[in-house]
Structure 1
Amino acid sequence: MHRDWRTLDESDVRVRPGKGSRPRSKRRPAHADAVSAMVVAVDRGRWRCALDDDPERIVTAMRARELGRTPIVVGDRVKLVGDVSGTPDTLARIVRVLERESVLRRTADDTDPYERVVVANAEQLLIVTSLADPPPRTGFIDRCLVACYTGGLDPVLCLTKADLASPDELLAYYADLDVPAVVTRYDEDSPRLREILRGRVSALVGHSGVGKSTLVNRLVPDADLATGEVSAIGKGRHTSVAAVALPLPEGGWVIDTPGVRSFGLAHVTPDELVAAFPQFAEAAEECPPNCGHLGAPEDPDCALDDVVASGEASSARLESLRRLLASRTGTEV
């Protein structure tokens, strides 16, 4: 029997739902069973992760679809679901990236707007510098210090090849910044360096040829990292091609980063750097707009000079800060 069309309503119409008719929900799975891990290596869309409760078990994981293009780097703390056995040919999923406590960032140069995260959650940064062959580059060290102060890492100067040159001049140059330093020789172990690294997550950065991979091989005998020869013109060959975290026998991690030729700081503002120096941070708020805090003649009304005049900080300390500020743009003061 056919019903009169005048008595029909929408409940009598059956429409096959299309692909886009299903209501979307912003709710995401809770993943209550997810396990905690740290990313120790990244390779072509796969992340190698060490489990918190079993660091020797390394799990290969992919990024879950719900994370989209969320960047994940070595040192990131993540949550994993799926097969976390770590056996060959198994794959887990990264479903969450925890908030970072520190970030080591750099740009390719001082005009590059693209900011690169090198390492996440490192507690300290070892700035590895050779005292000779190749000679030390204070500009590079200064830029690494800026990255530490603005990224939440504790800086440590690691001076290598002390068998070739004295460290005294370089140590004096950074004395007013109160940066811890450790001096090593090519043919000797360094108990003090091991003590500095013990139980902490430490990243290593330096130019190629400064002995960074040699240090890592000595600290982690199983690292099996290649050490490169320094070329005749003083520029080392790159021996580390990607950041990798390695467990220390005495506890803690070292993150070896690729040798770099430049350390751009286009992402760092003068105020961000000054904020890392408590004795100057409050005075900087009294500076004129757009003050670069470099002092005369560039910034003749900079309030940081008043801090020195009042005796709250030394002139050497301010000169060191201004040297770091100038290093952001590749200039000198």
Structure 2
Amino acid sequence: MARRVRDEHARYARPSKHGSRPRSKQRPEHADSVAGLIVGVDRGRYTLVLDEGGPDEREILAMKARELSRTRAVVGDVVDVVGDTSGREGTLARIVRITERTSVLRRTADDNDPYERIVVANADQLVVVVALAQPEPRTGMIDRCVVAAYDAGMDVLLCLTKADLSSPDELRDLYTPLGVEVVVARRDAADTVEAVREHLLGRTSVLVGHSGVGKSTLINALVPDAARATGVVNDVTGRGRHTSTSAVALRLPVSAGSTGGTHDGWVIDTPGVRSFGLAHVEVAHLLAAFEDLDEVAAQCPRGCTHLADAPDCALDEWVDGAPDEVSRTTRASRLTSFRRLLVSRTATV
């Protein structure tokens, strides 16, 4: 008779219906665990980088321990792993802990969906990739990405592609008042990649955008060995085809003038999206991203929506009370931009 192999998690599992042994609340400390960064997820298997930047840096494959079966682990998470962490072919380590996240970029399928989908963890910059033509830009989608980034405490970079087909001036003027940095990418322009790269150095940046906007093409230019699949835009629908099927973190190669290090940052490619639900975003979180408006809004009456039709909104008084015409124009532009984002939480895109 074959010898029964004991499952080390069995004593932590909930007792069966007919069992009498109480469930133990004790958990192993896993003092021998090592930290790793999740750079890819594929059907329940996680690709991790261990000892990042160190002499023993290596990639390993891991799965979640049973006690984490209901906990979502995503690209960007820093986790503790045990087991065989050598990285040799055929080995599989086990994720036993997910460390506290510094940021979480979330979205929902729509504004009525209570289920939050975590896009990535621990990124500090959201790069919204938008084509100026083929397909045409959709400001509603951009607004929603900006709202989600501000809710997560992330900076926002608007990367405008295909600038040789249309002028970027209108979109630049629309988002500059929001504090969004804008970089323009032109096809076959030698300085385009470097212009984008400067905004990514030393950061963990996640790229999002509709299919067909040139996101994968841009990543292949930034990370030459990424080999991300690229697609084309349908001439009838004006929409692109999904070429990225899962999020993946890629090292930004060290530039010629860089001093030390194995890479200059991380870029996270994500699948193309057609919607960005914001059911999880609260008005207070969005307002907090605008420190000047947040301070003024404290004087608003209780229950104020801060929208254009809100009675006695202190934000309107703030604009009217500007000391000069220049300041009034600046404040009005800032308030209009904020209200546009506020409306985008429930608008259809």
**SS at 1:221 equivalent:** coil
Aligned to 1:292, which of 281, 302, 305?
305
Greater CA radius of gyration, 1 or 2?
Answer: 1
Residue of structure 2 in register with 1:184 after alignment: 185
Q: How does 1:42-191 map to 2 (within 5 A)?
A: 42-53=41-52, 57-188=58-189, 189-191=192-194
Residue of structure 1 in register with 2:15 after alignment: none
Cα distance in 1 between the residues matched to 2:64 and 2:284: 36
- Letter paired with 1:53: E
**CA deviation after TM superposition for structure 1 residue 290, in Å:** 3.4
Residue of structure 2 in register with 1:31 after alignment: 30
**CA deviation after TM superposition for structure 1 residue 54, in Å:** 5.0
**Structure 2: 5+ residue stretches without partners:** 1-17, 255-263
Contact 2:134 2:213 in 1 (8 A): yes
Cα distance in 2 between the residues matched to 1:61 and 1:175: 43
**SS at 1:222 equivalent:** coil
**SS at 1:172 equivalent:** helix
**SS at 2:127 equivalent:** strand
Q: Does residue 257 of structure 2 align to residue 215 of structure 1?
A: no
Residue of structure 1 in register with 2:337 after alignment: 320
- Letter paired with 1:320: S
Cα distance in 1 between the residues matched to 2:104 and 2:307: 26
Q: Does residue 267 of structure 2 align to residue 254 of structure 1?
A: yes
Tell me how large the CA RMSD over aligned residues is.
2.0
**CA deviation after TM superposition for structure 1 residue 49, in Å:** 1.0
Cα distance in 2 between the residues matched to 1:184 and 1:163: 9
Cα distance in 2 between the residues matched to 1:307 and 1:29: 56
**CA deviation after TM superposition for structure 1 residue 96, in Å:** 0.7
Q: Does residue 241 of structure 2 align to residue 240 of structure 1?
A: no
Contact 1:155 1:179 in 2 (8 A): yes
TM-score normalised by L of structure 1: 0.89
Cα distance in 2 between the residues matched to 1:85 and 1:310: 65
**CA deviation after TM superposition for structure 1 residue 258, in Å:** 0.5
Residue of structure 1 in register with 2:279 after alignment: 266
Contact 1:270 1:293 in 2 (8 A): no
Residue of structure 1 in register with 2:289 after alignment: 276
Q: How does 1:297-308 map to 2 (within 5 A)?
A: 299-308=310-319
Sequence identity, in percent? 62
Cα distance in 1 between the residues matched to 2:336 and 2:223: 38
**CA deviation after TM superposition for structure 1 residue 136, in Å:** 1.2
Aligned to 2:201, which of 195, 198, 211?
198
Per-residue CA deviations over 1:12-57 (Å, capped at 9, x if unaligned) read xxxxxxx955554423222222111111111111111111435852
Per-residue CA deviations over 1:43-88 (Å, capped at 9, x if unaligned) read 1111111114358521111111222311111111111111111122
**SS at 1:258 equivalent:** coil
**CA deviation after TM superposition for structure 1 residue 178, in Å:** 2.4
Contact 2:106 2:120 in 1 (8 A): yes
Contact 2:209 2:273 in 1 (8 A): yes
